[in-house]
């Protein structure tokens, strides 16, 4: 169960639809050329950015992730588009076999500025029932009543007790490392 988000009165609320978390999933193994790299993403973020307290909390549901939106694939430098059948197969494998989204439907992120800085976060990410801490580079801008935060970092699936998807005895597999990109828009 993911706990409720606790924001102060001065916090900026994350604007779903204007915010994005995109995860690039790369293929690996000796038969990697037979597979596809993928981008999974969500714009359905809930949460807040509290600059006065120097912290943020956000969450999203795994079952709301999209798979391989053409524009996001292009932004990630992927120059091909998998077939609809390949996308459907990826979605089925990802949600039921790998992420076990029915048992662990939410991803929760709680982060705070590292002491003395506004360009690096200490982020606790809870995924698959496991919480891990990361140091995340941050680009932060204020535009009137809007806060814009963006950055990129890498996590490993195994950090969260997730076994990366593989077939043919690992000859075709998903790499353990995932590239995360976020662009958060929050308003008062």
Q: Would the pLDDT of 87 be above 60?
A: yes
2, part of any domain: no
- pLDDT category of residue 10 using cuts at 50, 70 and 90: confident
7, part of any domain: no
Mean pLDDT of the chain: 90
pLDDT in tens, 103-154: 889 999 999 999 888 899 999 999 989 999 999 999 999 999 999 999 999 9
The pTM for the full model equals 0.90
The average pLDDT across 66-85 equals 93
- pLDDT category of residue 1 using cuts at 50, 70 and 90: very low
Q: Which residues constitute the domain of residue 134?
A: 12-187
**Rg, C-alpha atoms of the chain:** 17
Give Cα separations from 154 to 22, 25, 52, 92, 167 (angstroms): 12, 11, 28, 24, 24
Secondary structure (3-state) at 97: helix
Which residue(s) pair with 148 in the sheet? 141, 185
Sign of CA dihedral 140, 137, 60, 76: positive
CB 122 within 8 A of CB 112: yes
What CATH number is given to the structural domain containing 125? 2.40.128.110
Split into its structural domains, the chain has a count of 1
């Amino acid at each position: 169960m993911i706990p409720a988000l606790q924001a102060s009165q001065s916090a900026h609320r994350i604007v779903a639809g204007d915010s994005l978390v995109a995860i690039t999933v790369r293929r690996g193994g000796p038969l990697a050329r037979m597979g596809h790299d993928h981008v999974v993403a969500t714009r359905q973020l809930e949460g807040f950015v509290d600059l006065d307290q120097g912290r943020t909390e956000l969450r999203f549901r795994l079952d709301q992730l999209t798979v391989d939106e053409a524009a996001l694939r292009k932004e990630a430098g992927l120059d091909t588009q998998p077939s609809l059948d390949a996308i459907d197969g990826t979605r089925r494998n990802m949600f039921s076999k790998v992420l076990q989204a029915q048992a662990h439907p939410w991803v929760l992120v709680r982060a705070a500025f590292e002491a003395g800085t506004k360009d690096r976060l200490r982020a606790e990410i809870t995924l698959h029932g496991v919480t891990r801490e990361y140091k995340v580079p941050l680009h932060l801008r204020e535009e009137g009543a809007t806060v814009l935060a963006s950055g990129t970092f890498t996590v490993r699936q195994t950090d969260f007790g997730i076994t990366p998807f593989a077939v043919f005895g690992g000859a075709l597999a998903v790499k353990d490392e995932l590239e995360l990109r976020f662009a958060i828009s929050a308003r008062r």
